[in-house]
Amino acid sequence: MRHNKLFIVLALLFMCACSGKDYNLYEYASTHLIDEYVEATTFKLDKIDDNLLIMKPADNSKSYVSQELAKAGYGSQAGVSKFNAMAAQNGDEGFEWNIMYDSNGKYFHYSALTESMPTIELTCSTDFDASHPAGTSLMDVVKVQIYSFAQFLGENRDEIFYFEISDKVRITKRYADFTDEEKAIVGSTFYLVFEKTPAVAGDYEFTVTTAGKYKSEPLKVHFAE
């Protein structure tokens, strides 16, 4: 099946024009929905804005990319055989579309974990509010945004066009509400959206623990009044 790339090309051109900088856009042909798998246990936290944190694989995580992505200059050829095994296992084959990247080294591809979505616990080193003393779980005050790919892979996958992927695969809900299918094949980056702020304005230090044992480095976040 052939997928129209017009919308994504126009979107990227618009972003480049609005940035005030000149970027050259390139493309490579991909036969996969996911062009990179990341083997990660530990994640690092970062702040995007006052109510939004991002979880990304730690710098020592292993990455396995497709042959096409490696040829385009991203990642290493050494992991291609591992990538091919993952793609075959997930039924991620037979797509036909072009993926964009620019002269600044920005690649617009999808990256997924080699394992299913890990358990996530967010805690604070001080009292968040009266119901959440220091060290207790904050997962009932945050929603988690993930990229979930399983329904678009395999023999019975749903039809999808590249320009609509972002809206189709992005899901935001409480961690406890994700289904096993939604957690089966997920993007390598997660977003934590606070539904409420601390009872008292000030600096708070957060840690995320995955799989019940892997802790991130603490992240200090300031909440204004």
Q: Looking at residues 172-179, what average pLDDT do you find? A: 96
Percent of the chain at pLDDT exceeding 70: 88
pLDDT digits (tens, 9 = 90+) for 87-122: 999 999 988 888 888 877 788 899 999 999 999 999
- CA-nearest of 45, 80, 44, 77 to 61 is 44
Percent of the chain at pLDDT exceeding 90: 66
Q: In what order do the strands lie in the sheet with 36-39?
A: 62-65, 36-39, 111-113
Q: Looking at residues 80-87, what average pLDDT do you find? A: 96
pLDDT digits (tens, 9 = 90+) for 30-65: 999 999 999 999 999 999 987 899 999 999 999 999
**Extents of the domains making up the chain:** 6-223
* Cα separation, 37 vs 217, whole angstroms: 23
Q: Assign 21 a pLDDT band (cuts: 50, 70, 90).
A: low
